[in-house]
Amino acid sequence: MIGTANAALILVENINKAFPLPDGKGEFTVLRDVNVRVARGEVVALLGRSGSGKSTLLRIMAGLIPASSGAVTSDGTKLTGPNPDVGMVFQSFALLPWLTVIENVELGLEARGVGRVERTKRALRAIDLVGLDGFESAYPKELSGGMKQRVGFARALVVEPKVLFLDEPFSALDVLTAENLRGEIDDLWNAGTFPAKSILIVTHNIEEAVFLADRVLVLGTNPGRVRGEVVIDLPRPHHRADERFKLLVEYLYTVMTKPDMDVTAGPSVRVPGAATPAPVKASPYARALPHVRVGTISGLLELIVESGDASVEIAHLSERLALPMDDLLAILDAATLLEFATITEGEVALTDLGRDYATTTILRSKDLFRGQVLAHAAIIATIAKTLQEKANKTMRADFFLDILDEHYPAEEAKRQFSTAIEWARYAELFEYDADEELLYIA
Amino acid sequence: MIQRTLPAPGSLRRPIGFGLADVAVILGSLVLLALIARVGAGAFVAFVPPKNVPAISLDPRHLPYYAARSTLRMFIALAASFVFTFAYGYAAARSRYAERVLIPLLDILQSVPVLGFLSITVTGFIALFPGSLLGLEAASIFAIFTSQAWNMAFSFYQSLRTLPTDLSEATAAYGLPAWQRFVRLEIPAGMIGLIWNAMMSFGGGWFFLAASEAISVLNQQYTLPGIGSYVAAAVGAQDMRALGYAVLTMAVVIVAVDQLFWRPVIAWSDKFRLEQSAAAEAPQSWVYDLIRQSRASAALERFVAPAGDALTALLSSIKVPIGGRPFDPRRARIADRVFNVLLGAVVAGLVAAAVRFILSTVGFAEVGHVVGLGALTLLRVVVLLVFASLIWTPIGVAIGFSPRLARIAQPVALFLASFPANFIFPFATLAFIRLHVSIDYGSVLLMALGAQWYILFNSIAGASSIPTDLREMADDVGLTGFNRWRRLIVPGIFSSWVTGGITASGGAWNASIVSEVVTWGSSTLTASGLGAYIASATAKGDWPRITLGVGMMSIYVVGVNRILWRQLYALAERKYHL
């Protein structure tokens, strides 16, 4: 017998990934010491919030970008370029708009030099499999989102890849279409005739992970790393009404909202108080702001007040608002950062301050907001202090952008800056002149 | 439930039987081939100046042949521009080192006046094909090529640099070889911008074609059978009637090329749009519809498919190293520095050689004189832009605010922009002579004849892109007169106006070479300016002065671009982006 170690289709060993910061200011670590195994015949989900590097990890496994160190082995071969064992489905579909459905599906076959007749035959079979027969000669722009993603699946499956990589394949679709397509893919997999040996799906949707996967790997942020693994010990197909299903979803919600909690094999085993405190970072600029608009925080708080309950289940909230998990978590991050809300065991409750903030007048709510921002949003408080200390109370934006650049990749530095400005403007702490690129206190 | 929408009716409509469309397409193709063969043969005739020079007959019956010769030249240049664009743009986008040489070079090439290229290269081309007209033919085609290739290459390079990440990743994930990636992703993604650029510069190309068919180099008058040399001959003979026929023929040719070539190409290229949703209004062309409906094109496609497959297989085996990040950033930085130093040395050497050449032949005083001439021409360009803006912007805005008027006027403005203004020059020259207008002022009008339409065209485009709700808001709050212009119209059309201004200014600089020296019969009017300087140096074959004049014009153009247009562009992008 071949040992289990050899049964791994994809083996990721000690992967690190860092991007250089602009102007040689060091590096920004995206992934640290990541180990992943995808075995033959299983569905694995990578669950993480934005910034957990889950898409980067998937692209490293697909051989689209190189790792800084460590190795990826695909079916026994070490990767040096695009992974030939993988068929990939993209979040944005990534269909070439100038090719018809069948030409898009044939793309991978053509690249492998499969002859015209054979190519057409196999492509038609794949199109049939995903329920698109009759649409071979349509162009992508004539199709709805759900149908476009069916083409994406057909294009990946037609090459009969060893592993099917799904990069948030349902998150660009509306809720009902996503539900429908997800169910069909699950049915195809459960029927045992699936054209791929394994599936690896990247997602931030907890229910989706529990529904599709046999194992869920939970990724942490700053830097991205594998926090642990939750085995979905349910018979396939996984039924949502199942009590165990609900328990697993709830457990994952708790894990996701508590970045410091240990991830154990499943909800049955709980290790209380084992959380390790996050390392304290020296610079206030390193404490990232969640990218949330001020109005959204108030909106969520008001919603909780109106619900009449002391606390609300996050899973329910996500369902009711039909908000992507990532966005909801960012809002909750902001609310907890400002001490307007607390999170316990997958539930969110308002603090007294939060209740006051949500129900008071605009003027007073601004005062409350300003106070909390100065106390807890380190970037804004530091910028405000710096401006206050200047005689003319004015600074060039570049000064702060340069500092932020030392802690974040260029794009993220800009986002941090604009979020800081949005919050500070609302709190009437300082102003920003976009024409002159100046920050000032009026 | 599975969500299904019906495919568009067009994708289901299949042609049935052999129809009129097939007859039209097959006949049309045969006629086109025969024409090309007949007209193209004319290029292979003996040419031994000064004895054996093709004569131009002013009989209007020969005009269609001359027009066809000229049109063929235009299309050969266009084909050459596409080949150049793909090679140059691809190299610049793929290699970091190539990029650092090729892109600034493109900037410089763009600023060299097109007729300057002609002056510099025509003797070389004639020497390349001794005893044949092909040399002159090549020089003319090269001049047209230089009016198209640079901005096409730049457009393609930019689209390669801004490929959508997901599509780029998909082609990598599915292991597309470089060739397949090129034809499946890279060319299609750049197609719309490329075709739009090609069409605009093709329109401008008629001007340079007309100017390049009848030129005097090294005290020699060279003539190439074509519609431009027909005009030159008519001017020499002071034949008003012949001139009228030429103008009419040119108008017919421009409309025909638009209907038979550019419309279908634009309708076809609409499928390369990157938006994944159907466009509100797809461009239409009756010729394209005809070709699509015929079975002949489908049959041809099936016929060439096996050969295409074989070619694809062959070309797919070519390996192109992906221009990825270098492995060791520190070593790459050293390599970069070495490269930069080498590049700087080469550029400094070239500049020093040019400066030494000019100073040792014409001297420093002449350089100062040429700077002054450049200032005079610059003044003309500025006056032209100011007046053209004052006159055409209000008219353009009025047209643009009325969608019905805009639909009619926009193609007309585009037609006027591509009509070679040098066909009208003789009429204006005659008027200047009769009315005793100095060419020093008259040349501004001549330059404006071609350039002003870009201002009009872009004003219309800008005004029609101002959202209706903003105009309704302006009415609602009672914004009228000066304030309406200051708060709504000027900011709203600013981006478009900058585009129009930069195109018009480029056109005016180019036109100065033929606008500052004009003739009617035996009388020649010469303005003092940089254009006239280059024209006279070219006529005499005076190399140092050609180099000095062309170089000076490039410096002026680059300078104005850097100091004025680039700043305005940045302002438009930052503040007035609608």
pLDDT at B168 over 80: yes
- CA distance linking residue A333 with residue A328, whole number of Å: 9
* pLDDT value for B156: 92
Tell which residue, A402, A289, A410, has the closest CA to residue A19: A410
Report residue A34's pLDDT band, with 50, 70 and 90 as the boundaries: very high
- Tokens of residue A384, six digits: 């405000």
Higher pLDDT, A91 or A258: A91
What distance in Å separates the CA atoms of residue B148 and residue B512, rounded to the nearest whole number? 19
Q: Span B73-78, mean pLDDT?
A: 94
Q: Tally Cβ neighbours within 10 Å of residue A362.
A: 7
CB–CB of A96 and B167 under 8 A?
A: yes
Cβ contacts of A146 on chain B, cutoff 8 Å = 3
Please, is B101 exposed, middle or buried when counting C-beta atoms within 10 Å of its C-beta (0-12, 13-18, 19+)? middle
Contacting residues for B246 by C-beta, under 8 A, at least 6 apart: B63, B227, B230, B231, B234, B423
b/e code A33-63 from CB counts within 10 Å (16+ = b): ebebbbbeebbbbbbbbbbbbbbbbbbbbbb
- Alpha carbons within 13 A on the beta-carbon side of A135: 27
Q: How far is CA A227 from CA A85, A246, A278, A279, B434, in A?
A: 27, 21, 13, 16, 90
- Asked if A148 and B316 come within 8 Å (Cβ–Cβ), the reply is no
pLDDT at B530: 93
Please give the structure tokens belonging to residue A140: 């992508």
- As a whole number of angstroms, the distance between CA B249 and CA B61 comes to 11
Q: Are strands A77-78 and A69-74 parallel, antiparallel or unpaired?
A: antiparallel
Side chain identity at A7, as an amino acid letter?
A
What pLDDT, in 10s, does the model give residues B173-192? 888 888 899 999 999 998 98
Average pLDDT estimate for B368-384 = 94
Tokens of B140: 């003319």
Those residues with Cβ within 8 angstroms of residue B182's Cβ, 6 or more apart along the chain or in another chain: B90
Task: Give the closest-approach CA distance of B184 to chain A in angstroms.
Answer: 8
| DSSP three-state, residue B16 | coil
* The CA-based dihedral angle spanning residues B353, B355, B361, B363, taken in that order and rounded to the nearest 10 degrees: -160
Which residues are registered as beta bridge partners of A165?
A: A88, A200
Helical (H) or strand (E) element with B480: none
Average pLDDT over residues B259-279: 80
Contacts of A83 in chain B (CB under 8 A): 173
Mean pLDDT across B196-223: 82
Contacts of A178 (CB under 8 A, 6+ apart): A146, A170, A171
Q: Any idea which residue has 């403007």 for tokens?
A: A425
Q: Which of B174, B277, B319 to mutate to test the interface with A (most CBs of A within 10 A)?
A: B174
Q: And the tokens for B46?
A: 């003996």
CB atoms within 10 A of CB B372: 12
User: Which are the contacts of B304, defined by CB distance < 8 A and separation ≥ 6?
Assistant: none
CB contact A107 to B (< 8 Å): yes
pLDDT (mean) for B60-80: 92
A78 touches chain B (CB under 8 A): no
Q: Which residue has the tokens 């680039």?
A: B566
Q: How does pLDDT run across B494-511, given as a tens digit for each residue? A: 988 998 898 889 889 988
Q: How many CA atoms lie within 13 A of B120 on its CB side?
A: 16
Contacts of A107 in chain B (CB under 8 A): 170-171, 174, 176, 184
pLDDT 10s digits, A277-320: 444 456 778 788 888 888 888 888 888 888 888 888 888 887 77
The pLDDT value given to residue A219: 92
Distance separating alpha carbons of residues B92 and B157, to the nearest angstrom:
7
> Are the C-beta atoms of A58 and A165 separated by less than 8 Å?
yes
Q: Which amino acid type is present at position B449?
A: L
Instruction: List the single residue in A87, A91, A107 with the smallest CB-CB distance to B176.
Output: A107
Q: Which one of A90, A96, A176, A435 would you mutate to disrupt binding with B, by most B Cβ within 10 Å of its Cβ?
A: A96
Which of B170, B276, B309 lies closest to A141 in CB terms?
B276
Q: Which value, in Å, is the radius of gyration of the alpha carbons in chain B?
A: 26
Provide φ and ψ at B276, rounded to 5°.
Answer: -85, -10
Average pLDDT over chain B reads 83
Judge whether B321 is closer than 8 Å to chain A, CB to CB: no
When pLDDT is averaged across residues B34-39 and rounded to a whole number, the result is 75
Peptide bond into A284 cis (omega under 30): no
Exposure of B319 in the CB half-sphere (CA atoms within 13 A): 1
More confident residue, B339 or A283: B339
Residue A391, CB-side half-sphere exposure with 13 Å CA sphere: 0
> Residue range A125-138: average pLDDT?
90
First-residue to last-residue Cα distance in chain A: 76
Rounded CA separation A87/A100 (Å): 19
Q: Which of B209, B162, B194, B208 is nearest to B84 (CA)?
A: B194
| A213: its two tokens | 């996967």
- C-alpha–C-alpha distance, residues A38 and A96, integer Å: 30
Output the average pLDDT for chain A.
86
Asked if pLDDT for residue B242 goes beyond 60, the answer is: yes
Q: What is the pLDDT of residue B323?
A: 46
Task: Report, as an integer, the average pLDDT of B183-207.
Answer: 89
Question: What mean pLDDT is predicted for residues B459-471?
Answer: 86
Binary contact (A148, B329; C-beta < 8 A): no
- Give the HSE-up count for residue B536: Cα atoms under 13 Å, Cβ half-sphere: 13
Residue type, B26: I
Q: Which long-range contacts (CB under 8 A, 24 or more apart) does A14-18 make?
A: A14/A69, A14/A70, A14/A71, A15/A57, A15/A60, A15/A67, A15/A69, A15/A70, A15/A71, A15/A72, A16/A67, A16/A68, A16/A69, A16/A70, A17/A53, A17/A56, A17/A57, A17/A60, A17/A65, A17/A67, A17/A68, A17/A224, A18/A68
- pLDDT > 50? residue B332: yes
* Cα radius of gyration rounded to whole Å, chain A: 24
Amino acid making up residue A415: R
Cα distances from B475 to residues A400, B397, B479, B484, B489, in angstroms, run 42, 16, 6, 9, 12
Closest CA to A89 of A157, A160, A138, A18: A157
Cα separation of B406 and B402, whole Å? 6
User: Could you give the 3-state DSSP secondary structure of residue B395?
Assistant: helix
CA separation for the pair B413, B416 (Å, rounded):
5
| CA torsion through residues A174, A176, A180, A185, sign | positive
pLDDT tens-digit readout, A177-229? 888 899 999 999 998 888 999 999 999 889 999 999 999 999 988 788 899 89
Q: Which residues of B touch A137 (CB under 8 A)?
A: 7, 11
Q: From the centroid of its chain, how far is CA A260?
A: 18
A36 and A53 in contact (C-beta within 8 Å)? no
> Does the beta-carbon distance from B272 to A141 stay under 8 Å?
no
Report CA torsion sign: A38, A43, A48, A53.
Answer: positive
Residues of chain B with Cβ-Cβ distance to A84 below 8 Å are: 175
Percent of chain A beyond pLDDT 90? 33
Q: Would the pLDDT of B380 be above 90?
A: yes
DSSP alpha helix (H) spans, A214-272? 243-257
Q: Say which DSSP state B3 is in.
A: -
Contacts of B2 in chain A (CB under 8 A): 131, 180
CB contact B9 to A (< 8 Å): no
Q: Report the chain B residue with the minimal C-alpha distance to residue A104.
A: B184
Can you read off the two tokens belonging to residue B155?
């457009």
Helices (H), A158-202: 175-190
